Structure 1
Amino acid sequence: MDKEVLTTGKSILDKEDYIPGNRKTKWGIMSKIPILDLDGKIEGLLGFFVDITDRKKAEEELYSYQVQLKKQNEELHIHQAELETQNEELRQAHAELDSVRKRYFDLYDLAPVSFFTINQKGIITETNLSSSIMFGIDRDKLINQPFAKLIFPEERDIFYLRNKEVFETGKQLSWDMRMLHTDGSPFWVYLQAKPLQNIESIIALINISAYKKFEK
């Protein structure tokens, strides 16, 4: 800086730079003004500075914070974009699930065949509208009831053994058996039992009483 002023003869005012002699540890705003003799020749320099080291450190910290904040904002935007994508995928999954539920309702609940879902203890966990019609019992009153209550007493042991076989072997079984209407009258059904994830079985019933009468 001194050399530049001595060479050009021009003053340098308010230049930010490291303060000489401090091994670049301190910053200052420095000015250098040439001192001229009567002939206009430079005979010396007038220099002064203001220590701005603390301000520079604050600026550097602010810059570092801004860089970090910018990075965090970029990461936040990326995260928001990912969340929006996930939300859209979740919305689509919900829409597909609703569609599956509707199809399930149409297939299971409105089927002309009576369906029961029972657990390993023989308790009804789910049933459809056709079952309510077949037995003359409100569907809500069928839930959490033993399926055996709907079976003709002499057939209950057979059902117990075959349903046990369904759970143990994982095979689908079917046979004819008698059930009981809510009024106490027996009727014949074709029963099909199918395991469901080894924790439940699905029972399908078709009334074949008319067919049985025809057999006789």
Structure 2
Amino acid sequence: MSRRLAPTTALAALAALTALAMAAIAGPARALTPAELFAQVAPSVWRVQTFDRDGLPLGQGSGVVTGFAELVTNCHVLAKAQRVQIRRDGLPQPLPARLARWDVQRDLCQLSVPGLTAPAVRLGRADQATVGQAAYTVGHPKGLDLTLAAGLVSSIRRNDAGQLVLLQTSAAISGGSSGGALFNEQGELLGLTTLGIFGGDSQNLNFAIPAEWILDLPRRHEAARAAARAAAAASR
């Protein structure tokens, strides 16, 4: 004996089938041309400048907007800084920033930037990256604003526990690129460009920390603060 679906059940089933059909028709997102990708992501990559207690320039790097009035960069970009600001060409004044969250072990820090209205990038999945896929870096190497470089994901680097810790890329980075962005062809953030091995016989050995770590930053920041408070209380 056949069973008839209740109206609400039938509608839900129809909606699910329609969604699956549309997804099958749509297929994977279209790869952007380098020019399209740059136009899409450039507003979200900023130069990070640091200063010492006397107000003298200390260093600079790059940063990526990941939320409303929020930007992430590498912690080593902020080392010894007493004041931080972000800026980019075409703006009359830099924007002051303050450290909001940090995970020194992963070299990932978040800045709060009141007045920053730039769009957040879309986060991709570094754990789904494949060797040989196209990759693009955008940053401010040597203070040269918004430099785009193209390359490949060269390797997936994991620790002894099998956890993804670095994406290796042939897309160029230089001093000042730290905290910048590594994008896939869809303009999704795969990671933050963190280090390169330069000089001697080294070529195109550039690395980015996974974008997924950004999502885990609030939890790890609070855990680190709690551990620090417990250690301080135990030492009294």
* TM-score, normalised via structure 1 length: 0.26
Instruction: Mark the structure with the bigger radius of gyration.
Output: 1
When you count helix as a share of all residues, which structure comes out higher?
1
Q: Which has the higher contact order (CA 8 A, sep 6+)?
A: 2
